[in-house]
């Protein structure tokens, strides 16, 4: 392929992706606006009109902000690639580092820093304007800044050694570098799954043992029925950042732990909490987590193999506004370009991921209905939809592209049928 041909291909896919995402967002906003005036019949007895309208307004606001973020991200992407931003950044760093590994390291780090800084205004607006307007923000500017600093430090401590290993493998391990890198990346992902619950998560939140004895007994009884062993039941102080609530389990093997947001416990009844947990345990017992990790590993192998081909093609660089070095490593630049353009070419495939994820959600709901009363899961979901201002009337096509969970009406209908 010629560099001009790849430039044209990239521009075509970029334009199609931008148009498609804009069209989906516009559909979503119009669909929600048309259904704002009344609560869907199946939810009318349980969801007040005011809550339904708040969810509609919140979703429209988030979608609008997402459009702004998409346009900003698109401009940044074109600026880094076709307008020569990455080329200028590379040339600016070259006198400081010289060519080779350290230049490629510096390039990736500088790109990451600049990208993060460019995202900060929208992140701030999302937290302190949009979330604040709808009553969800509980963060102070100090906590927001503290999280930013801690996440940057943690990212550097973990990411920089990994980056050095990956770039070294790319440069020194021959044509099969992508396979060796995949082995390292897979091991790294498993390590993060193992240490996140006990090492990383406590840096940002406080995790306290569940103290409600009756609720603890109810949950332990459920775990015994389904054959799930956990290191402990914990309550996370999610309320210091947000009014949104959730529950999850993390880790694997003996390190598995179940975590409830304090906001969730304050809103749901014990039998509803049990039903929500039964759904989460369904994901584990039905091996959804293992399947998702396996898919992630398979996709990462395929993408690394593709990068293994592209990094040796001059048109891949020149077609994206970069003049590669001759006889010197371009590996960091290849990584950056690949991460930038991959979403442009893969976005039309997003519904495939949603289909798989929704299948798992239906299966986990069915599992919960087998081990608890499905009516309790329905009532819990309705409360969570209301508390999180999740719209009950998403546009079906927009939902197919973006939502990992089925729409509320479809999900409740399935649960109602399961409990009949």
- The whole-number pLDDT of residue 248 equals 77
**Regions of the chain with pLDDT less than 70:** 251-255, 418-420
Binding-site residues from annotation: 279, 283, 361
Q: What is the CA radius of gyration of the chain?
A: 24
- CA–CA dist 409, 411 (Å, integer): 6
- Are the CB atoms for 38 and 415 separated by under 8 Å? no
Residue 362 is predicted with a pLDDT of 93
Catalytic residues: 280, 365
Determine the pLDDT at residue 420.
52
- What's the confidence (pLDDT) of residue 253? 62
- What is the spatial distance between Cα 343 and Cα 387, in angstroms, rounded to a whole number? 32
Q: What is the pLDDT of residues 120-146, one digit of tens each?
A: 999 999 999 999 999 999 899 999 999
pTM equals 0.89
Contact assessment for residue 247 and residue 280, using Cβ atoms and an 8 Å cutoff = yes
Task: List pLDDT tens digits, range 407-418.
Answer: 988 998 888 876
CB burial of 366-399 (b: ≥16 within 10 Å; e: otherwise) equals bbbbebbbbebbbbbbbbbbbbbbbbbbbbeebb
Cα atoms in the 13 Å half-sphere on the side-chain side of 128: 13
Number of C-beta neighbours around residue 97 at 10 A: 15
Three-point CA angle 205, 69, 87, nearest 5°: 100
pLDDT recorded at residue 417: 76
- Tokens found for residue 348: 């039309």
pLDDT at residue 358, as a whole number: 92
DSSP category for residue 199: I
Q: What residue numbers does the annotated binding site for Zn(2+) cover?
A: 279, 283, 361
Element (H, E) at 256: none
CA pair distance 43, 388, nearest whole angstrom = 15
3-class secondary-structure state, position 287: coil
**Residue 292 has which token pair?**
């998702």
Q: Are strands 233-236 and 207-209 parallel, antiparallel or unpaired?
A: antiparallel
Contacts of 54 (CB under 8 A, 6+ apart): 134, 389
* Whether the Cβ atoms of residue 387 and residue 245 lie closer than 8 Å to each other: yes
Residue 88's CB is within 10 A of a number of other CB atoms, namely 13
CB 95 within 8 A of CB 103: no
Please give the sequence-ordered ranges of beta strands (E in DSSP) within 117-240, or none if there are none: 207-209, 233-236
The residue with tokens 């416990």 is: 265
Tokens of 84: 């020569």
Nearest to 164 by CA among 90, 101, 231: 101
pLDDT for 115: 96
Rounded distance between C-alpha atoms, residue 42 and residue 111, angstroms: 49
Neighbour tally for 29: CB within 10 Å: 19
Query: Strand (E) positions, 195-345?
Result: 207-209, 233-236, 247-250, 257-261
């Amino acid at each position: 392929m010629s560099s001009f041909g790849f430039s044209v291909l990239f521009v075509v896919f970029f334009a199609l992706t931008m148009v498609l995402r804009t069209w989906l967002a516009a559909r979503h906003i119009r669909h929600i606006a048309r259904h704002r005036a009344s609560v869907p019949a199946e939810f009318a007895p349980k969801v007040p009109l005011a809550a339904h309208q708040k969810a509609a307004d919140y979703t429209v606001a988030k979608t609008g902000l997402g459009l702004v973020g998409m346009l900003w991200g698109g401009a940044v992407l074109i600026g880094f690639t076709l307008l020569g931003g990455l080329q200028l950044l590379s040339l600016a760093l070259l006198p400081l580092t010289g060519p080779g590994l350290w230049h490629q390291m510096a390039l990736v780090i500088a790109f990451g820093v600049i990208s993060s800084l460019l995202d900060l205004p929208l992140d701030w607006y999302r937290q302190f304007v949009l979330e604040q307007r709808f009553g969800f923000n509980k963060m102070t500017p100090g906590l927001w800044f503290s999280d930013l600093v801690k996440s940057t430090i943690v990212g550097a401590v973990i990411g920089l050694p990994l980056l050095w290993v990956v770039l070294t493998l790319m440069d020194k391990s021959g044509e099969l570098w992508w396979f060796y890198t995949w082995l390292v990346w897979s091991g790294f992902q498993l390590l993060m799954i193992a240490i996140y619950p006990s090492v990383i998560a406590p840096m940002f939140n406080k995790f306290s043992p569940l103290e409600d004895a009756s609720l603890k007994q109810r949950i332990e009884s459920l775990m015994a029925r389904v054959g799930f062993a956990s290191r402990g039941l914990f309550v996370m102080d999610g309320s210091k950042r947000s009014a949104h609530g959730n529950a999850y389990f993390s880790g694997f093997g003996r390190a598995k732990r179940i975590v409830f947001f304090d906001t969730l416990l304050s809103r749901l009844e014990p039998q509803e909490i049990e039903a929500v947990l039964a759904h989460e345990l369904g994901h584990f017992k039905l091996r959804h987590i293992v399947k998702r990790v396996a898919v992630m590993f398979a996709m990462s192998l395929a993408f690394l193999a593709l990068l293994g081909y592209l990094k040796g093609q001059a048109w891949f660089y020149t077609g994206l506004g970069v003049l590669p070095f001759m006889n010197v490593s371009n590996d960091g630049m290849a990584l950056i370009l690949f991460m930038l353009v991959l979403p442009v070419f893969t976005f039309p495939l997003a519904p495939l991921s949603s289909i798989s994820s929704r299948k798992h959600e239906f299966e986990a709901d069915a599992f919960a209905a087998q081990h608890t009363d499905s009516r309790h899961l329905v009532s819990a979901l309705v409360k969570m939809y209301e508390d999180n201002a999740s719209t009950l009337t998403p546009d079906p096509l927009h939902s197919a592209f973006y939502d990992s969970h089925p729409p509320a009406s479809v999900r409740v209908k399935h649960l109602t049928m399961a409990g009949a």
